Structure 1
Amino acid sequence: MCSHYQALKEQERLQRLFLVQPPADLGKVDMWPGYTGTFVRAHPQSQVGDEAVPAREALPGLFGLVPHWSPDTKITQYTYNARSETVASKPSFRDAWNKAQHCIIPAEAIFEPDWRSGRPVPTRIARADGEPLGIAGLWSAWKSPQGEVVHSFTMLTLNAAQHPLMRLFHKPNDEKRMVVILHDDQYDDWLNARPEHSKPLLRPYPADNLAARAALGPQTTLF
């Protein structure tokens, strides 16, 4: 499960690679649950036929999905990842899934603990070509007791027991999981997919297209 990632810090890079107008503030770069970062979704009016309306938009949101029924935003500490196997039925995520509230979370890298030495070694995992990750997610809009609309998002995950790279992380007896990383040419497919067409897009990203190295100490490539 991914609770820590590095967001894009350059507005030009977000605009060029994700084809969106960046928000004035991209939020934090070093992202943890409950922090505000940037996510990308289909523009709500993108299907009206107006060429002036962009296909996508970028918004600030909390890392950790806040369902409409939550009394506050503390739930973000538990809803930053959604299991693809149960996302359609879990109360925290099923409304966003059934409404196809798909989003993409731009990230330079994610971080996972490598326990093979017997202790956790924070490990930075990124695309081998240096381009940012586009992580498949869901978004939600929550209204606070004061009437403020707060956007939030979660990352979708898969079982990684057979993945050559991602199976190496987490404690030995923990289930191996990985976030869903989309290929560049899948971005529009994901953002516009209906619920019944969504699951086929949730596939493991090839290990050969990823690179991992220790995040602390000597910058040694591990994989």
Structure 2
Amino acid sequence: MTIVYESALDLRHYQQRFQLACAAPAPFVRPGDRGLFVRRPRGDRGGASPDSRYEAAQGRWGLIPLFANNRDYPATFEARGESAAAERDFLQPWKRGHRCIVLADALYRRGENDQRMVRVTRADGQPLALAGLWNGWRSPEGECVESFALLTLPSEEKPGERRAVFLREGWLDDWLYCPVEEAAACLRPYDLSKLVRAPVDGPSLRSTS
């Protein structure tokens, strides 16, 4: 389970990959915090350029489904890639093709004990491209609240554990634009040799946020 991720802070990544100019995201994002994600431009709003294929949005990490009664809907930080299409919380975003990408310099997950975490990065220094689902929820007051969840798959190394889905570099556009029935094909285990995993102390991480 991902505990926190470190946003990609070099805005050139958004410009080079998605031709987007956006404000700097929060350095560290925990479940319930607001994070930056990239998606296809929303069809119900006129903010994006007609020629733009991508849009940057800020939303809560923790997807709020359409049927939720309030914005504090719990436990939707991660969506199981193999079953999200049939799960009540994620069914509508999946069917609507509400897929997104979160660029992260690193993510952190639990280590062998509660005092240690594992920091995961790409070996080549490029940001991780995390696959996600997003939703726009209408509050009782009429406010549209953006939110997202990260997709996960079972760990190949440790049965019973789950890992965030890292998208291959050439699949970013496919993930956002492919037909719904083809989306699951993008959710594949990442080549572990292309990742660096380093143990870190939990308290020291908390002190930097």
Q: Same fold (TM over 0.5)?
A: yes
Deviation at 1:86, TM superposition (A): 1.5
Question: Quick one: distance in 1 between partners of 2:110 and 2:198?
Answer: 11
Segments of structure 1 that go 5 or more residues without pairing to the other structure are: 46-50, 168-173
Question: Quick one: distance in 1 between partners of 2:122 and 2:39?
Answer: 22
Question: Quick one: distance in 2 between partners of 1:154 and 1:143?
Answer: 17
Written as runs of structure 1 = structure 2, the 5 A alignment for 1:33-182 is 33-44=31-42, 52-75=50-73, 77-115=74-112, 119-160=114-155, 162-163=156-157, 167=158, 175-182=160-167
Question: Quick one: distance in 2 between partners of 1:125 and 1:215?
Answer: 10
Written as runs of structure 1 = structure 2, the 5 A alignment for 1:183-198 is 183-198=168-183
Coordinate RMSD, CA, aligned:
2.0
Deviation readout 1:43-79 (Å, 9 max, x if unpaired): 246xxxxx9521111111110111111111212x400
Large movers: runs of 4+ above 4 Å: none
Deviation readout 1:102-161 (Å, 9 max, x if unpaired): 10011111101121xx5541111010111001111111001112111111111111011x
The 3-state SS of whatever aligns with 1:3 is strand
Question: Quick one: distance in 1 between partners of 2:17 and 2:34?
Answer: 21
Deviation readout 1:169-223 (Å, 9 max, x if unpaired): xxxxx71111110011100000002221011110011100000112239x9xxxx
Q: 1:175 and 1:140, CA in 2 relative to 1: closer, same or farther beyond 3 A?
A: same
Q: Which amino acid aligns with 2:66?
A: H
Question: Quick one: distance in 2 between partners of 1:195 and 1:182?
Answer: 16
Counterpart for residue 5 of structure 1: 5
Deviation readout 1:7-54 (Å, 9 max, x if unpaired): 1223334323443221x3x44221111111100001246xxxxx9521
Paired-residue identity, %: 32
Question: Quick one: distance in 2 between partners of 1:27 and 1:66?
Answer: 20
Question: Quick one: distance in 1 between partners of 2:72 and 2:200?
Answer: 28
TM-score (norm 1): 0.82
The 3-state SS of whatever aligns with 1:79 is coil
The 3-state SS of whatever aligns with 1:211 is strand
The count of corresponding residues between Structure 1 and Structure 2 is: 198
Question: Quick one: distance in 1 between partners of 2:3 and 2:62?
Answer: 9
Segments of structure 2 that go 5 or more residues without pairing to the other structure are: 44-48, 205-209
The 3-state SS of whatever aligns with 1:151 is strand
Question: Quick one: distance in 2 between partners of 1:210 and 1:20?
Answer: 26
TM-score (norm 2): 0.87
* 8 A contact 2:20–2:54 mirrored in 1: yes
Written as runs of structure 1 = structure 2, the 5 A alignment for 1:210-221 is 210-216=195-201
Deviation at 1:89, TM superposition (A): 1.4
Counterpart for residue 192 of structure 2: 207
Deviation at 1:3, TM superposition (A): 3.2
Counterpart for residue 30 of structure 2: 32
The 3-state SS of whatever aligns with 1:4 is strand
The 3-state SS of whatever aligns with 1:141 is strand
